Structure 1
Amino acid sequence: MLINVVEDNLNLNRMIKTYLEAEGYRVQSFLNGKEAIENIFEEVELWVMDIMIPDINGFTIFKKVKELTPNSKVIFISARNQDIDRVIGLEMGCDDYIPKPFMIRELVIKVNNLLKKPKEIQNNIIKCGEYTIDKDKHKVYINDSQLEISSKEYDLLLYFMENKFRAVSREQVLDSVWGINYFGSARVVDNTLRRLRNKMTKLKIQTIYGYGYRFEGVND
């Protein structure tokens, strides 16, 4: 898998490249936005980009990446005190965000979570802790016992499991699970999620205040 790194700090750029290559990824690194934009192509699986690039900021690069290669994933990095950057990045649809300063290993974990397909997803069977989704039978189990959940609860659970570790907005969930032609209240997401949490108490779904959610697996 090929990763493009856009970071104008030379030392940090080199460290990120070194750590990611040690994980087995191919890495191209750029110190400015112009070179980065010239290297947007479908083969790039993931972009790790600083927002505050002197010549072309990360938001502009992001828009170009999504225009030309909409399936490429993006992790934004930015200064810790720039909370507004985090909110804007998530609203634009980035897959994750990490504030500076950070441990490079933390970034590596986020990259692995996005790019390495979970081993628990095989042959239309999704396993997560003691929970199992059988996509062919449209059923959910805890250990060997079937859980009684509604059709929309099932659809919501499946959406979260197939987007594990990804920050998703309430609007993204609504469009994906209820459809773009749904005109009811967006609160239906919160209400359905609340019922799902009551039935599957070990689900670890983080609420991102003012944005949406991130599914992180199950509690031990």
Structure 2
Amino acid sequence: MKIYYVEDEKDLSEIIRKYLMREGFDVTVFYDGETAIKHVEDQVDLWILDIMLSGELNGYDLIKAIKGVNSPSSIIFTSARDQDLDKIMGLELGSDDYLAKPYSPRELILRVKAVLKRQQQFSSSEIAQYDHYAINLTKREIKSNHGMIDLTNKEFELLLFFIKHTNQAFSRDDILKHVWGDNYYGSDRVVDDLLRRLRHKMPDLKIETIYGYGYRLL
């Protein structure tokens, strides 16, 4: 699998590059955002982005650029700054995971493998697995350790949205747009009602409430 790694600390980037290559990944390193942004349309499985980069472009700029071209690439971002702020901002922009500096190479490898595994589940199989829930994306069926789970169409659409965007934070407006569509003009509290029903039917879903903002599936 192909990985683009953007990190301006050259000693760190060389260590991580060697670890990733040892695991069999094809790794290209960029030391600044200006060079990396020229490659956002490349066919690559994963970007690893540092938020703080030398030059005018930072990791946030790169996430926006990658998402702006509708790239299917997964994104992991790292930061040594205010962890909570960076984590929320990065996840809101569409990254798949976050790792605070300093981190160990082995921890990064584990995160990389987990993100790529989730990506493969949706690209190569009609079955998505979350905890003990087996979600058939084609038949729209859910099987758990306790039997089959019946969801309404909207409940399934909400579940599918969260499953495809694990660890990403979304506002109620974001969820309304993706699940109900642009033409829905009702209250955003419909999200809370639907989520309450989904939690009742699938209690092992780790859906985090971000007070004053929205939700995230962990």
TM-score by length of 1: 0.80
Q: Which residue of 1 aligns with 2:77?
A: 76
User: Gapped runs of 5+ residues in structure 2?
Assistant: none
The answer to whether structure 1 residue 167 and structure 2 residue 175 are counterparts is no
Measure how far apart 1:95 and its partner are. 2.5
**2:47 is the alignment partner of 1:47:** yes
How many Å separate the matches in 1 of 2:121 and 2:50? 32
Higher deviation after alignment, 46-55 or 118-127: 118-127
Structure that is richer in helix per residue: 2
- What does the per-residue CA deviation read over 1:65-106, in whole Å, with 9 as the maximum and x for residues that have no partner? 334463333222111435433333233222322221222222
The normalised TM-score by structure 2 is 0.80
1:13 is aligned with what amino acid?
S
Structure ranking higher in strand proportion = 1
| Counterpart residue identity of residue 42, structure 1 | D
Say if 1:119 and 1:79 are closer, same or farther in 2 by CA, change over 3 A: closer
* Mapped partners of 1:209, 1:111: distance in 2: 29
Q: Which amino acid aligns with 2:3?
A: I
| One-letter amino acid of the counterpart of residue 140, structure 1 | I
CA, structure 1 residues 208+114, in 2 after alignment: closer, same or farther (shift >3 Å)?
farther
Query: Given the superposition, is the C-alpha separation of residues 209 and 107 from structure 1 closer, same or farther in structure 2, using an over 3 Å criterion?
Result: farther
Q: Partner of 1:181 in structure 2?
A: 183
CA deviation profile, 1:101-127 (whole Å, cap 9, x unmatched)? 222222222222222247877753444
1:91 maps to what in 2?
A: 92
**Unmatched segments (≥5 aa) in structure 1:** none
- The answer on whether the counterparts of 1:167 and 1:212 sit within 8 Å (CA) in structure 2 is no
Correspondences of 1:67-146 after superposition (within 5 Å): 67-68=68-69, 70-117=71-118, 124-143=126-145, 145-146=147-148
In structure 2, the CA distance between the partners of 1:209 and 1:26, relative to structure 1 (3 Å rule), is farther
Shift of 1:7: 0.9
**Displacement, 1:38?**
3.5
% identity of equivalent residues: 42
The residue identity in structure 1 corresponding to 2:153 is S
Q: 2: CA distance between counterparts of 1:89 and 1:202?
A: 26
Q: Hey, what's the Cα distance between the residues in 1 that align with 2:93 and 2:164?
A: 20
CA contact (8 A) 1:51 1:58 kept: yes
Change (3 A) 1:53 1:132: closer
Shift of 1:35: 2.5
Distance in 1 (alpha carbons) for counterparts of 2:136 and 2:88:
35
Contact 1:80 1:101 in 2 (8 A): no
**Deviation string for 1:15-42 (max 9, x for gaps)?**
2212222222111112222322333332
- Measured against aligned partners, the alpha-carbon deviations of 1:181-200 in whole angstroms (never above 9, x if no partner) come to 22222232232222211222
Pairs within 5 Å for 1:16-27: 16-27=16-27
Name the residue aligned to 1:158.
160
Q: Check 1:24–1:212 CA distance in 2 against 1; reply closer, same or farther (3 A cut).
A: farther
Q: CA RMSD in A?
A: 2.8
- d(CA) in 1 for partners of 2:137 and 2:83? 41
